[in-house]
Amino acid sequence: MPDIVQLLPENIANQIAAGEVIQRPASAVKELLENAVDAGATEIKLFVNDAGKALIQVIDNGQGMSETDARMCFERHATSKIKNIEDLFHIKTMGFRGEALASIAGVAQVELKTRKADEITGTYIEIENSVVKTQQPIAVQQGTSISMKNLFFNVPARRNFLKSNSSELRHIVDEFIRVAMAFPGIFFSLTSNGQQVFHLEKGTLKQRIVQILGNNYTAKLVSVQEETDYMNIYGFVGKPDTAKKTRGDQYFFVNNRFIKSAYLNHAVMNAFSDMIAKDSFPMYALFIDLDPSRLDINVHPTKQEIKFEDEKIIYAFVQSAVKHALAQFSVTPTLDFDLDVSIQQSDAVSKPFTEDKRSAASSSSLYKTFTQKHQAHFIESKSDLQHWDEQLRVTSDELQGQPGEDMEKKIAVECAPEPVQKKEDKKPATNNFIQLHNTFILAENRNGFIAIHQQNAHERILYERFLNAIKGKPIATQRSLFPATIELTPADTVLLNELLDDLLLLGYLVEPFGNNTFVIQGSPADVIQGNEKATLEKMLDQYKHFSNDIKFGKREKLLRSMAWQQSVKANTSLDQKEMESLVNDLFDCETPNCTPNGKPSYLEFKKDELDKMFGR
C-alpha cells in the first residue's frame, strides 16, 4: 500500500483558509480597508460594483510596497507586522496574521498596483486562484491599489451562498462605517456602482460621527473622557432624547478595533437607566484604549468578540465614565450651547445647584432637573415605546418558536382565515357600538357580544389592504403639491432604496434626490396629506427592528411596519361612523380575528355563558 498523507496544494489551502477570513464581500472590504489604515494612508477610497460581488477596490496613499513585498504579501502567513512571539503582545496594527491577502488571492481575480514614496517605478501584479499571472513595473502614484474581481468565481458553492445585493451592500456599509468611525483623521469615501455613498472629510471624531450618523446628532453628543493608568476611554454618547427604538447606532472600539460586546453594552445601558424609556437604545461611539497585553489576542481577528484580562474592571469603568459624562451634561447645562434659550433660563437649570439636586443629577435622574418641554416629549415617546415593546415581544417569541408569556398563551388565538359561516356568527348584528376607555368597541352579535380592540383591529385591516396592494391592486397615489424631502443617514438610504418599488404599490411615490435625500412626490390618496415624512421615518425605524431577522422577507417587514405605523392607536376617541367602518372593514378581512403578529383583534363573550355566570 502506498502512503496516503499529502500536503494540500497551496491554492486549495488558501481557499480553505479563505473560508475563515473571507465569508462575504464585506469581510474582504474590512481586510483591505484595515491594510490601508495600517499602511499609514491619509486617504482611502473604496469602490464596489454589484455589492462587491463583481468588484471591490481599495485605493490608498499609504506607504506602498517594494517589488519583493508586493509579491510576498500574497503568501500565507506573510506579514510585516509581527516578527516574533513577543510582538504578539504589543499589536498596534489592525492586521497581523498575514492571511487576508493570501485568502483573497485564493478566491478572486486580484490586481495590485503599488509604489513606495522613495521608488520611481511601482509594481503591478495580477494573481488569480493563488497563481501569479503577470508581474511587471508600472508607473503609478504612491500608495497601493488592490482590486478584486468576481469574488468566489472559483468556489461556486460560496458564491451561491451570497445574499441579495442590497443585503451584501448593507454589510459592506457596516464594515466601512466601523473603520471610518475609528479613524476620523483619514479621508474615506465609498462609491457603489459609480455612485458616491460616503464622502468623509478628515476631521474630529465628533464631526465624523455626525457625517456618518446624520446631522440630527450635531447638537446632541455628550463627550465621554476618562483616563486611568489601566485604561482610557473617550468618545461620545447621544443625549437621552436621541435614544431610538432600534439598536443601530452603537459602537465600541478597543484599541481602534470595532468590537461587539453585550457585556459592555450592558454597562452603557446601565448608565443610561432612568434617563431613557425602557427598551430604547442610546447612541454611543466609545473608544477604549488599553495595553494590548491585557487582551487575548488569540481570539480570531475577524471575529468581533474580544476577551479582556479583567472584564469586571472594564465594565465598571465604562459604566462610571458614561454616568459621569451624563451627569456633567445635566448639572452644567448652562455651558451647553445646544440647549435653547428658554430651557437655559428655566429655574431648573439657571439656579445654583443644591446638594440634593447635584446628587440627583449625578445619580443620573436627568429628567428630574429637566424642563417641562422635554418631559412632555419623553412621556410621549415613552407611550409610543410601550407599543413597541408589545410588538417586539410577540415577534421575538415567534422568532424563537417559543411560547409567549403565560398571559399571551391565554389570549393566543388561532390565526387563520375564518370560514364564512364562522365570520357571520361573530360579526356584529347591529350598528350600535359603544367605545370604552377610548380603546375597546363593544358590539352585540348573534351569540352574545364582542369586544374589539381598535388598534389590533386596524392593524389587521391595514395589513390585508397592503397585502392586496402588493399582490396586484396598488393603492392609488396622490401627487403632492409641495413634496416633502427627507434626509437620511447613508445606511438608511441604502435601506429605503430597497423599498421604493414596494412603497409605490402602497401609494408612496418616493424618489432618490442624491446625497442621501429623497423627495416624497406622492402619498396614498386615501390618507390625509402632511404626515408623509414622519410616516416614512417611523416606518423605517420600525422596519429596522425586523432587519436582522430572517424569518420575514423584505415585504413582510414593510407591510407589518406600515400597518402598525398607520393604525389608529389605543386611547383615541372614535365616533359612531368611525367605529362602524372600522368594524365593517375588520369583518371584510380574510383573517379578522387577529393582528399580523397573532394578537386577538376581538374577544367574544357568549350569552349562554354569561347567563350561566349569572346563575341563570
Interface positions with ligand ADP (CB under 6 A):
31, 35-36, 38-39, 60, 62-65, 73, 78-81, 95-102, 144
Q: Which does 62 bind (CB under 5 to 8 A by kind): ligand ADP, Mg ion, none?
A: ligand ADP
Q: Which does 36 bind (CB under 5 to 8 A by kind): ligand ADP, Mg ion, none?
A: ligand ADP
Q: Which one, 93 or 109, has the nearer CB to Mg ion?
A: 93
Q: Which of 48, 59, 82, 100 binds Mg ion (CB under 5 A)?
A: 100
C-alpha distances in Å from residue 433, one per residue of 17, 329, 359, 473, 580 = 68, 52, 53, 31, 7
Q: Which one, 255 or 445, has the nearer CB to Mg ion?
A: 255
**In the complex, least distance from residue 204 CB atom to ligand ADP, rounded to whole angstroms:** 25
**In the complex, least distance from residue 161 CB atom to ligand ADP, rounded to whole angstroms:** 23
Grid coordinates of 320: 462610571
Of the candidates 476, 503, 486, the one whose C-alpha atom is nearest the C-alpha of residue 562 is 503
Of the candidates 609, 610, 606, the one whose C-alpha atom is nearest the C-alpha of residue 426 is 606
* Position 301 contacts Mg ion (CB under 5 A): no
Q: Which does 78 bind (CB under 5 to 8 A by kind): Mg ion, ligand ADP, none?
A: ligand ADP
Q: Give how many residues touch Mg ion by CB under 5 A.
A: 3
Of the candidates 82, 80, 3, the one whose C-alpha atom is nearest the C-alpha of residue 35 is 80
Counting beta carbons within 10 angstroms of the beta carbon of residue 197, is it exposed (0 to 12), middle (13 to 18) or buried (19 or more)? buried
Q: Which does 569 bind (CB under 5 to 8 A by kind): Mg ion, ligand ADP, none?
A: none
Grid coordinates of 276: 431613557
**In the complex, least distance from residue 146 CB atom to ligand ADP, rounded to whole angstroms:** 6
Q: Give yes or no for a contact between 489 and 213, defined as CB atoms under 8 angstroms apart.
A: yes
Contact region with Mg ion (CB under 5 A), list: 34-42, 228-236, 259-267, 476-484: 34-42
Distance CA 180, CA 188 (A): 7
**In the complex, least distance from residue 63 CB atom to ligand ADP, rounded to whole angstroms:** 6
Ordered DSSP codes for 495-535 = HHHHHHHHHHHTT-EEEE-STTEEEEEEEETTS-TT-HHHH
3-state secondary structure of 225: strand
Sheet holding 250-254, edge to edge: 221-227, 231-238, 284-290, 250-254, 257-259
Q: Which of 95, 214, 238, 282 binds Mg ion (CB under 5 A)?
A: 95
Contact region with Mg ion (CB under 5 A), list: 94-102, 131-139, 476-484, 535-543: 94-102
Q: Which does 182 bind (CB under 5 to 8 A by kind): Mg ion, ligand ADP, none?
A: none
**In the complex, least distance from residue 125 CB atom to ligand ADP, rounded to whole angstroms:** 12
* Position 35 contacts Mg ion (CB under 5 A): yes
**In the complex, least distance from residue 366 CB atom to ligand ADP, rounded to whole angstroms:** 44
Residue nearest to ligand ADP (CB): 95
The 3 state secondary structure assigned to 170-200 is HHHHHHHHHHHHHCCCCEEEEEECCEEEEEE
Contact region with Mg ion (CB under 5 A), list: 14-22, 87-95, 305-313, 459-467: 87-95
Q: Which one, 99 or 498, has the nearer CB to ligand ADP?
A: 99
Q: Give yes or no for a contact between 194 and 188, defined as CB atoms under 8 angstroms apart.
A: no
Q: Which one, 95 or 106, has the nearer CB to Mg ion?
A: 95
Grid coordinates of 52: 462587491
3-state secondary structure of 254: strand
**In the complex, least distance from residue 18 CB atom to ligand ADP, rounded to whole angstroms:** 11
3-state secondary structure of 433: coil
Q: Which one, 115 or 560, has the nearer CB to ligand ADP?
A: 115
**In the complex, least distance from residue 65 CB atom to Mg ion, rounded to whole angstroms:** 13
Q: Which does 97 bind (CB under 5 to 8 A by kind): ligand ADP, Mg ion, none?
A: ligand ADP
C-alpha distances in Å from residue 538, one per residue of 102, 577, 603 = 44, 28, 30
Q: Which one, 147 or 547, has the nearer CB to ligand ADP?
A: 147
Of the candidates 477, 398, 521, 497, the one whose C-alpha atom is nearest the C-alpha of residue 170 is 497
Q: Which one, 254 or 450, has the nearer CB to ligand ADP?
A: 254
**In the complex, least distance from residue 176 CB atom to ligand ADP, rounded to whole angstroms:** 16
Q: Does an H or E element contain 150, and which?
A: none
Q: Which one, 31 or 532, has the nearer CB to Mg ion?
A: 31
* Position 146 contacts Mg ion (CB under 5 A): no
Amino acid identity, residue 584? N
Query: What is the binding site for Mg ion (CB under 5 A)?
Result: 35, 95, 100
